[in-house]
Amino acid sequence: MAFQPIVDMRSRQVFAHEALVRGADGSGAYGVLSLIDPDNRYAFDQQCRVRAIELASRLFPRTDMPHLSINFMPNAVYEPRACIRQTLETARRTDFPLDRIIFEFTEVEKLDTDHILNILRSYREIGFKTAIDDFGAGYSGLNLLTRFQPDLVKLDMDLIRGIDTDSIKQVVVRHTLAMLHDLGVTVVCEGVETADEMEVLTDLGVNLIQGYYLARPTFEGLSPISLAA
């Protein structure tokens, strides 16, 4: 696993670290994920959760502990409460607080909405936070929001890249932020790579930022953050 921070620009502190899958040699996610098929999807998803929590429990400070954001594969979860047992056991064994764990999924793959809702509602009842990743790039984002409001939404990076020179993107993001605010959903803008993008987003009222401009992922460690912005 590598970890990349999500920074709260109001407090200038790390809000969360996202766990990102890597090869044992530190190689990128693409090569690892290309090996995943229906036969090993469940085992892979479970091991990613366990590894992320074990590493985070060693790396994260115990005072003012940031959140840990874990990507999960909805199609690897056949029944939420049965599939969460290993995660709960790992959190108990490492003394990692459940309310510090965020489970996020990417909606770019066409999924059974009822299945997703069952997972998200079950996770919330257990005490986890939930997030939709790449919002704006998937199949059913708005429809899903009418039936369930996650704790966080991460706007798709294609909406963020070059937003400082694209008035259309600024309009779309401004109104998306207003909608999510009205729904009580916290917004993360990911993929921020330049000072100009950062300036536009902070002017729009975005507080949680993730991207290379602040910090790159660090393999089995925590990235130093640049807060010159």
Q: Are strands 152-155 and 129-135 parallel, antiparallel or unpaired?
A: parallel
Let me know: does 155 contact 186? Beta carbons within 8 Å. no
d(CA 70, CA 3): 10
Query: What mean pLDDT comes out for the span 53-77?
Result: 93
> pLDDT digit string (tens) for 158-172?
999 999 999 999 999
pLDDT at residue 229 tops 50: no
What is the pLDDT, as a whole number, of residue 34?
82
d(CA 214, CA 4): 9
- Residue 101's nearest CA partner among 61, 134, 141, 131 is 131
> pLDDT digit string (tens) for 89-137?
999 999 999 999 999 987 655 678 889 899 999 999 999 999 999 887 7
Answering whether pTM is above 0.75, one says: yes
Q: Are strands 129-135 and 101-106 parallel, antiparallel or unpaired?
A: parallel
Let me know: does 113 contact 133? Beta carbons within 8 Å. no
Which range among 73-77, 131-135, 201-205 shows the weakest confidence by mean pLDDT? 73-77
In the block, which residue shows the tokens 């670290």? Answer: 17
pLDDT at residue 139 tops 90: no
d(CA 56, CA 19): 9
Query: What mean pLDDT comes out for the span 194-199?
Result: 96
Please, which residues have CB within 8 angstroms of residue 152's CB and are 6 or more apart in sequence?
102, 104, 129, 130, 131, 132, 185, 186, 187, 188, 208
Cα Dmax for the chain = 50
d(CA 72, CA 97): 18
For the chain, which domains are there? 2-153+215-219 (3.20.20.450)
What is the pLDDT, as a whole number, of residue 138?
62
Query: What mean pLDDT comes out for the span 6-31?
Result: 90
Where is mean pLDDT largest: 30-39, 67-76, 198-207?
198-207
Structure tokens at 229: 């912005």
* pLDDT grade for 39, boundaries at 50, 70 and 90: confident
Structure tokens at 46: 């479970």
Q: Are strands 2-8 and 208-209 parallel, antiparallel or unpaired?
A: antiparallel
* Mean pLDDT, the chain, whole residue set: 91
Q: Are strands 129-135 and 13-20 parallel, antiparallel or unpaired?
A: unpaired
What is the pLDDT, as a whole number, of residue 140?
61
